[in-house]
Amino acid sequence: MFMGEYHHTIDIKGRMIVPSKFREGLGEMFVLTRGLDQCLFGYPMSEWKLIEEKLKTLPLTKKDARAFTRFFFSGATECELDKQGRINIATPLLQYAKLEKECVVIGVSNRIELWSKSIWENYVAEQEDSFDEIAENMIDFDI
């Protein structure tokens, strides 16, 4: 399980050091793709395979299903950790998430998320004000 928040930097070549607490769970090779809310999702290969199987079952006749699978898979790329624990983030992913120098890496149960520092800070500020309401709505999900 991934949890926590870590602040890192991305160098000019698009490389970022993956937080050491996340490396073992991700493995030497993992998948990075476009996520929701303008961040990137990173999945260990075992989790990626489960998601892939679920998305294969979506009906091709549904426009939203086609759009989501295109968006999700077209942005996906395999990342390999180098000896220093870095990954090279593909340019289209950097552009999508507006990742430049400062970024935030968070653990979210079965995945990690990479955020632009400024987008993350804005997101947290917006969500903090409505956290009680969000928590109240989650009661419907038996949490």
Beta-carbon count within 10 A of 69 CB? 15
Q: How does DSSP classify residue 19?
A: P
Domains of the chain: 2-141 (3.40.1550.20)
Q: Are 56 and 46 within 8 A, CB to CB?
A: no
Q: What is the pTM of this model?
A: 0.92
Residues in the chain, how many?
143
Q: What is the pLDDT of residues 16-64, one digit of tens each?
A: 999 999 999 999 999 999 999 999 999 999 999 999 999 999 999 999 9
